């Protein structure tokens, strides 16, 4: 599943190609992804200039000049390919294409069809159902040790569940939660309310570090995730614990095996010696 670094990588890939370009056409090839693709999309976006492209949680947001925003979510298996002028390559599972004035095409491919495209008014975007329950962005200043400590107060749930809960902080998916807690030396099973402010500071720093490092590597190419260019991300080769159950801990002085356990139906990997 594309996580925050992968979505950020997609945004950085499409931005130079479509910013300040005009949309010439929108074509859909299926009637629904996770939800029906509205008939009105074509009318709302055709002929309009792209004014900004950014991310909120794992949503790609494309602001147009007419106070409308295109929202795209990659779901479980979505991928965006940008093709330049004269390139008519076809892709299996193409569900919609946005055509731009510079002859660039944005192609949305999604074998499992859990993705989403919607067009909403830009000025009330974050009041919409899609966004109004979401917590802070992990790479923003609001996500601090103090904030996490407050979130953890009176919570019996494991720290891993707490940082993966989108109401608390967005975009910390399964891979990055495991990796961050290893870096912070905190056991993923630890009850949230037991965490000290020092541990909360360390977790927050680790989440930011892991996400930034992954963005620099173009995300993790687990389950065939690929960048806009079709190149694979590289972060999967840098993972310390995720997917390494039964292997020896990467910390040089530690000889422990990495354990795989299940928390809230998700595989969780950690070192029982390094993480307390």
Report the catalytic residues: 2-3, 58, 266
Q: Smallest gap, in angstroms, from Cβ of residue 253 to Zn ion?
A: 8
Q: How many residues touch Zn ion (CB under 5 A)? A: 7
Helix (H, G, I), strand (E, B) or coil at 259: strand
Task: Tell me the window of 31-39, 88-96, 123-131, 244-252 that interacts with Zn ion (CB under 5 A).
Answer: 244-252
How far out from the chain centre does Cα 147 lie? Answer: 21
Tokens for 196, please give them: 């000290």
Q: Smallest gap, in angstroms, from Cβ of residue 185 to Zn ion?
A: 9
Give whichever of 254 and 259 is closer to Zn ion, judged by the CB atom: 254
Residue 128 backbone class (left: φ over 0; alpha: ψ -120 to 50; beta: rest): beta
Burial of residue 215 (number of CB atoms within 10 Å: 0-12, 13-18, 19+): buried
Determine the straight-line distance between the first and last CA of the chain, rounded to whole angstroms: 29
Task: Tell me the window of 142-150, 200-208, 214-222, 252-260 that interacts with Zn ion (CB under 5 A).
Answer: 252-260
Task: Tell me the window of 91-99, 146-154, 160-168, 245-253 that interacts with Zn ion (CB under 5 A).
Answer: 245-253
Give whichever of 170 and 271 is closer to Zn ion, judged by the CB atom: 271
Among 72, 184, 249, 263, binds Zn ion (CB under 5 A): 249
Binding track, positions 136-175, relative to Zn ion; x by CB under 5 A? ----------------------------------------
Q: Smallest gap, in angstroms, from Cβ of residue 37 to Zn ion?
A: 47
Task: Tell me the window of 66-74, 131-139, 203-211, 243-251 that interacts with Zn ion (CB under 5 A).
Answer: 243-251
Q: Cβ(110)–Cβ(79) under 8 Å?
A: yes
- CA 249-3-156 angle, to 5 degrees, is 65
Tokens for 207, please give them: 């989440």
Q: 255 to 274, contacts with Zn ion by CB under 5 A?
A: 256, 271, 273-274
| 38 makes contact with Zn ion (CB under 5 A) | no
Among 232, 254, 259, 261, binds Zn ion (CB under 5 A): 254
Give whichever of 49 and 273 is closer to Zn ion, judged by the CB atom: 273
Among 251, 259, 260, 261, binds Zn ion (CB under 5 A): 251
Give whichever of 108 and 182 is closer to Zn ion, judged by the CB atom: 182
Instruction: Write the CA distances from 193 to 179, 189, 259, integer angstroms.
Output: 21, 12, 23
Residue 120's Cβ-side half-sphere holds a number of Cα atoms within 13 Å equal to 18
Nearest residue relative to Zn ion (C-beta):
249
Give whichever of 32 and 238 is closer to Zn ion, judged by the CB atom: 238
Number of Cβ atoms within 10 Å of the Cβ of 117: 22
- How many Å apart are CA 56 and CA 54, to the nearest integer? 7
Q: What are the b/e assignments for 31-59, b being 16+ CB within 10 Å?
A: eebbeebeeebbebbeebbbeebebbbbb
Give whichever of 24 and 259 is closer to Zn ion, judged by the CB atom: 259
**Dihedral pair phi/psi, residue 49, rounded to 5°:** -85, 145
Site residues (CB under 5 A) for Zn ion?
249, 251, 254, 256, 271, 273-274
């Amino acid at each position: 599943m594309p996580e925050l670094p992968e979505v950020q990588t997609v945004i950085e890939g499409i931005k130079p190609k479509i910013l300040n370009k005009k949309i010439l056409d929108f074509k859909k090839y299926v009637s629904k992804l996770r939800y029906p693709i509205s008939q009105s999309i074509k009318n709302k976006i055709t002929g309009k200039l792209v004014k900004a492209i950014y991310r909120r949680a794992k949503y790609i947001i494309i602001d147009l000049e007419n106070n409308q925003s295109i929202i795209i979510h990659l779901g479980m298996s979505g991928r965006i390919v940008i093709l330049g002028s004269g390139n008519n390559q076809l892709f299996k599972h193409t569900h919609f294409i946005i055509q731009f004035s510079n002859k660039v095409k944005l192609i949305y491919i999604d074998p499992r069809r859990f993705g989403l495209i919607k067009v909403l008014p830009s000025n009330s975007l974050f009041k919409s159902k899609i966004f109004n329950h979401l917590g802070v962005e992990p790479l923003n200043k609001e996500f601090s040790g103090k904030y996490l400590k407050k979130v953890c107060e009176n919570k019996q749930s494991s720290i891993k569940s707490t940082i993966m809960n989108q109401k608390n902080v967005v975009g910390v998916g399964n891979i990055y939660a495991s990796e961050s807690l290893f870096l912070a030396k905190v056991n993923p099973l630890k009850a949230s309310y037991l965490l000290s402010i020092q541990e909360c500071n360390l977790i927050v720093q680790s989440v930011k570090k892991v996400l930034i490092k992954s963005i620099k590597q173009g995300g993790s190419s687990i389950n065939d995730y690929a960048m806009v260019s079709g190149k694979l991300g590289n972060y999967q080769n840098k993972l310390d614990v995720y997917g390494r159950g039964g292997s020896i801990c990467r910390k040089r002085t530690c000889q422990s095996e990495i354990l795989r356990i299940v928390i809230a139906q998700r595989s969780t990997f950690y070192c029982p010696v390094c993480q307390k």
